[in-house]
């Protein structure tokens, strides 16, 4: 009697961001799961969604590399589809133009004649699970979404890859409200999966040539060579593979667990077929995990109790340039500016780590505050 159908995840080696090497790896990985024609046939509008978190250059490994995006866009065009590129990073003072230019997206899109779209301009309120969510109409109205996330650790969610990349279809300013409304890590993970469920990509292509390790997803992390392109139609399976490559246990990442429980994909590696080299042969050694791992991998009930005993709090390094991004992006209003420098009101902190994500200068550090919850309101 045949066993359960297995998800397929294509893994291809790609040692460096060289145009031909990236193009070959992306093309080969997509071909292994049926080719781009499955998702981007003639006349179809395809929303290609990279990770454009902050206006940082590609070598920082915070955003999707433009060569990976370019290869995906070329495949869409060759299949006859009409690609658009969009993301909605949390609002930065620099604005969209600087973000697109700094990350290399503008150059690629201009070269290929592809439109860059702002998700904030057209929004729609939709029901996702028990929630009503404000999402991008441009994303939801596309014939298909192709997600192109970056392979990164994340101080709040442990990992940001296939599932969490879809948080970008939330218009920027709504992200702040959602962080405040769903401040509990378990609730926030449920929210991320609800968004993913409503805007599920037809195809996911992960930029894992150079990943980000440590206290990502922004300048708090450190670039790390991984040397891979990873692709598939099952984003849950992709996240399970990526979590394994990073060194997480199979039940550590809440978004993967929740999505699998809802029937949105396969998380059990035994039921995932790897098209490519064995994972153990390409797994990085001692990939640096976020500081929040011990806290985030506890069961939900224990996590809520432990939050009263062990809190994670930001501190601000001497290299702070007083740009004010951390204060302006804090959904809880827990960071005030005193004499030009950020100052934390610890009792208001909700541990969303938006300050870490927003800081463009690696000036935010995360530290444990043991037993602080017993004394702070």
Shared-domain flag, residues 36 and 164? yes
Specify if 36 maps to a domain: yes
Asked if 240 and 267 touch (Cβ cutoff 8 Å), the reply is yes
What span, in angstroms and rounded, lies between the C-alpha atoms of 305 and 307? 5
pLDDT of residue 368: 60
* Model confidence pLDDT, tens digit, residues 251-270: 999 999 999 999 999 999 99
Please indicate, yes or no, if residue 326 is contained in any of the structural domains. Answer: yes
pLDDT above 70 coverage of the chain, percent: 89
- Residue 293 in any domain: the answer is no
If pLDDT is split at 50, 70 and 90, which confidence band does 311 have?
low
- Taking each helix axis from N to C end, the angle separating 66-78 and 19-32, rounded to the nearest 10 degrees, works out to 50
Same domain, 50 and 186: yes
For residue 360, give the CATH number of its domain.
3.30.70.20
Q: Is 150 helix (H, G, I), strand (E, B) or coil?
A: strand
191 and 69 in a single domain? The answer is yes
One domain, residues 190 and 333 = no
Query: 135 and 259 share a domain?
Result: yes
pLDDT attached to residue 120:
85
Q: Which of 108, 97, 125 is nearest to 74 (CA)?
A: 108
Among 188, 180, 182, 127, CA closest to 160: 188
The answer to whether 208 and 284 have CB atoms below 8 angstroms apart is no
Confidence (pLDDT) at 310: 54
If one counts the domains in the chain, the total is 2
Q: For residue 298, tell me if it sits in a domain.
A: no
Q: Residue 352's domain spans which residues?
A: 308-374
Share the mean pLDDT of the chain.
Answer: 88
Same-domain check for residues 232 and 141 = yes
Please report whether residue 296 resides in a domain.
no
pLDDT band for position 94 (cuts 50, 70, 90):
low
Query: Above 70 in pLDDT, residue 90?
Result: no
CA distances from 232 to 6, 161, 236, 372 (A): 12, 13, 10, 43
Is 320 within the bounds of a domain?
Answer: yes
The answer to whether residues 243 and 328 belong to one domain is no
Task: For residue 130, give both structure tokens.
Answer: 């028990």
H or E stretch including 341?
strand 341-344
Domain with 260 in it: what CATH number?
3.40.50.11440
Residues 340 and 214 in one domain: no
Residue 303 lies in a domain: no
Q: Which of 282, 316, 344 is the last residue of a domain?
A: 282
**What are the pLDDT digits (tens) for 113-137?**
999 999 988 899 998 777 789 999 9
Shared domain for 196 and 252, answered yes or no, is: yes
**80, β-bridge pairs:** none
The model's pLDDT over 11-45, given as tens digits with 9 standing for 90+, comes to 999 999 999 999 999 999 999 999 999 999 999 99
Is residue 246 located within the same domain as residue 198?
yes
Convert 224-255 into a string of H (helix), E (strand) and C (coil).
Answer: EEEEEEEEECCHHHHHHHHHHHHCCCCCCCHH
Give the orientation angle of helix 185-198 with respect to helix 172-181, to 10 degrees.
140
Residues 6+ apart with CB under 8 A from 217: 53, 62, 150, 152, 153, 154, 155, 160, 357
């Amino acid at each position: 009697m045949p066993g359960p159908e297995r998800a397929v995840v294509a893994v291809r080696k790609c040692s460096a961001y060289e145009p031909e090497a990236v193009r070959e790896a992306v093309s080969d990985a997509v071909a292994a799961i049926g080719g781009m024609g499955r998702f981007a046939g003639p006349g179809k509008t395809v929303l290609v969604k990279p990770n454009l978190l902050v206006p940082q250059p590609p070598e920082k490994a915070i955003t999707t590399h433009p060569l990976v995006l370019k290869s995906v866009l070329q495949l869409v065009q060759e299949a006859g589809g009409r690609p658009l590129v969009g993301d909605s990073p949390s609002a930065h003072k620099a604005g969209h133009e600087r973000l697109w230019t700094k990350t290399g997206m503008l150059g690629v899109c201009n070269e290929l004649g592809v439109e860059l779209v702002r998700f904030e301009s057209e929004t729609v309120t939709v029901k996702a699970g028990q929630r009503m969510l404000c999402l991008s109409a441009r994303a939801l109205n596309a014939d298909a979404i192709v997600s192109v996330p970056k392979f990164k650790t994340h101080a709040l969610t442990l990992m940001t890859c296939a599932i969490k990349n879809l948080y970008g279809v939330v218009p920027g300013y709504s992200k702040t409200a959602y962080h405040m409304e769903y401040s509990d890590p378990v609730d926030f993970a449920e929210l991320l999966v609800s968004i993913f469920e409503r805007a599920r990509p037809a195809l996911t292509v992960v930029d894992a040539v150079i990943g980000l390790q440590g206290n990502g997803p922004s300048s708090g992390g450190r670039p790390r060579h991984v040397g891979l392109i990873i692709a598939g139609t099952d984003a849950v399976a992709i996240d399970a593979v990526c979590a394994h490559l990073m060194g997480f246990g199979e039940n550590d990442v809440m978004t993967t667990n929740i999505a699998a429980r809802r029937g949105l994909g396969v998380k059990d590696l035994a039921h995932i077929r790897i098209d490519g080299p064995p994972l153990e042969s390409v797994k990085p050694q001692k990939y640096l995990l976020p500081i929040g791992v011990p806290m985030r991998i506890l069961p939900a009930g224990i996590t809520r109790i432990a939050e009263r005993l062990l809190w994670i709090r930001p501190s601000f390094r001497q290299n702070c340039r007083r740009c004010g991004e951390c204060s302006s992006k804090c959904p809880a209003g827990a960071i005030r500016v005193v004499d030009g420098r950020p100052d934390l009101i610890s009792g208001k902190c909700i541990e969303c780590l938006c300050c870490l994500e927003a800081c463009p200068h690696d000036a935010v550090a995360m530290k444990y505050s043991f037993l602080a919850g017993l004394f702070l309101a």
